[in-house]
Amino acid sequence: MMDVTRGARGELVIRIAGTFDGMAASRLAGWLGEISSDDELVVDFSQVRDCHDLGLAAVACDLAQRGPHLQLRGLTRHQQRMLRYFGLDLEPGELQGEEEALG
C-alpha cells in the first residue's frame, strides 16, 4: 500500500507499507514522475515489512534525480547501502534510517 499526503511543513510524503517489490517500485516510479522535482519530498519506508533489493534498484535512479529535495525514512542499514550501490548517495540529513527513527 502507498499513499501520498502533505506533511506539516508542506512537503509531499509518500508512505509505503507492506511489501516493496518490483510492482510497488513501478507504482512509486510513476508517482515520482508526476511530482515536480522542485517539491520537497519524503519517501517513508518505515511500514515496509519486506523490501526487495530489486525494487530498490528499480527506483534508485528516479530517487537520485530528486536531488536535495528528497528525504528517505525508515530504511535499514542494508537498504541504505543497497541504494548507495545503485548510485543514490544521500547526505546523513537526507536519510533517516530505522535506527535514527527509533531513537
Question: CA–CA separation, 29 vs 25, rounded Å?
Answer: 6
Q: Where are the domains of the chain?
A: 2-98
Beta bridge partners of 37: none
**Phi and psi for 51 in degrees, rounded to 5?**
-110, 115
Q: What is the pLDDT of residues 66-102, one digit of tens each?
A: 888 999 999 999 999 999 998 888 765 555 554 444 3
CATH superfamily of 2-98: STAS domain (3.30.750.24)
Q: Considering the entire predicted model, what is its pTM?
A: 0.84
Other C-beta atoms lying within 10 Å of the C-beta of residue 74: 20
Question: CA–CA separation, 31 vs 14, rounded Å?
Answer: 9
